[in-house]
Amino acid sequence: MFENLTNRLNRVFDQLRKRGKLSEEDVDAAMREVRLALLEADVHFSVVKTFIARVRERAVGAEVSKALAPGQQVIKIVNEELIATLGEPAPLNLKGPKPHVVMMVGLQGSGKTTGAGKLAKMLRSKGERVMLVAGDPYRPAAVTQLQQLGERIDVAVEADLNLKPPELVKRSFEKAEKGGFSVMIVDTAGRSQLDAELMDELKSIVAKVPPVEILLVVDSMIGQEALNIAQGFRDNVSITGLMMTKMDGDSRGGAAISIRSVTGVPIKFIGTGEKLDALETYDPARLSSRILGMGDMIGLIEKAEAMFDEETAQKTADSMMSGRFTLEDWLDQMKQMKKM
């Protein structure tokens, strides 16, 4: 994730760390390199311009000149300003009467169906009773794909190819209401922001069952085109958040860095792989650490905690203390390690 950008920035940071004192010329030279790195990473030019101006203003001031390690202080400023550019985290809105309706919208191939499955799995693990709705009758096998995902994560899936999506969503909502479901996730058909007919279909769904969240699913690998897509959808429906997919394959990172600043729409989730648990709640500080090559210890810790079976670990500890640690216990330990 972000390998190209991370490598470029780390070369700049290495040069800064080597200097005991930093002159204004040193800062300007470093900022030129950072500017080039961001532009090559496909970050929007207006975002780059504002970001560099903010960093430079702080880097040539007393904040750095009085620091014991000026180079390290500049890196700290870059990190803080990058977090500010990435935008505040915005949690999923699950307030008000149930069931809460979450609509997934976006271009065909952006990862909506898989994203819906990942989100359903995440919410189910947090105690929500989730229903998935297959609102894409146009793509071959879209319904089947969602049904298979539902089976894998043990979540109910509503589908009916004889009904138009707005009618299906309305019927599903009534069923979810009666069935005691807390969240209903609607997987809609892939559509271009320029397709007036399909955009009208989205508006019809919203009119019949007002959602608490409309998540635009964006393929992070398409770069700045993601900004045009987000703005196009926002002109038609009230986009409340973004799910950035395929982040694990994005070596540049321009879309993720730019999209909040340019569109004003918050990122809520990022997809980091193909597995159903490869979905993370958006955290700008964590993402900044990854971009700057500082690692993601928080992410590693959270993943380890999610995979850690406390009961099994206690049994293993008891076995070891009593001298009864068997090959089966060892195999269980290896399985836990493999999950991490």
pLDDT at 250: 55
Question: What is the reported pTM?
Answer: 0.78
Distance, CA of 128 to CA of 110 (rounded, Å): 25
Classified by CATH at the fold level, domain 100-282 comes out as Rossmann fold (3.40.50)
How high is the pLDDT of residue 297?
A: 43
Of 61-70, 262-271, 286-295, 329-338, least confident by mean pLDDT is 61-70
Q: Would you place residue 298 in the very low, low, confident or very high pLDDT band (cuts 50, 70, 90)?
A: very low
Where, residue-wise, is CATH 1.20.120.140 in the chain? 3-86
What pLDDT is stored for residue 288 in this prediction?
A: 85
Report the topology of domain 3-86. Four Helix Bundle (Hemerythrin (Met), subunit A) (1.20.120)
Name which residue leads in pLDDT, 128 or 264.
Answer: 128
Position 303 pLDDT exceeds 60 = no
Q: In what order do the strands lie in the sheet with 267-271?
A: 156-158, 130-135, 183-188, 100-106, 213-219, 241-245, 267-271, 279-281
- Percentage of the chain exceeding pLDDT 70: 86
Name the pLDDT band for 316 (thresholds 50, 70, 90).
low
In eight-state DSSP terms, residue 240 is -
User: What is the chain's length?
Assistant: 340
Best mean pLDDT range from 60-74, 138-152, 241-255, 312-326: 138-152
Q: Between these two residues, 322 and 288, which has the higher pLDDT value? A: 288
Least confident of 6-10, 54-58, 272-276, 318-322: 318-322
Token duo for residue 34: 């950072």
**Which residues make up the CATH 3.40.50.300 domain(s) of the chain?**
100-282
Count Cβ neighbours within 10 Å for each residue of 259-297 and write b for 16 or more, e otherwise.
bbbbbebbbbbbbbeeebbebbebbbebbbbbbbeeebe
- What's the pLDDT band for 40 if we cut at 50, 70, 90? confident
Name the more confident of 316 and 49: 49
pLDDT attached to residue 328: 77
Q: Which whole number is the average pLDDT over 211-216?
A: 93
Q: Residue 99 pLDDT > 70, yes or no?
A: yes
Does pLDDT of 97 surpass 50? yes
Average pLDDT over residues 75-87: 88
3-state secondary structure of 213: strand
- Average pLDDT value for the chain: 83
Question: In what helix (H) or strand (E) does residue 101 lie, and over which residues does it extend?
Answer: strand 100-106
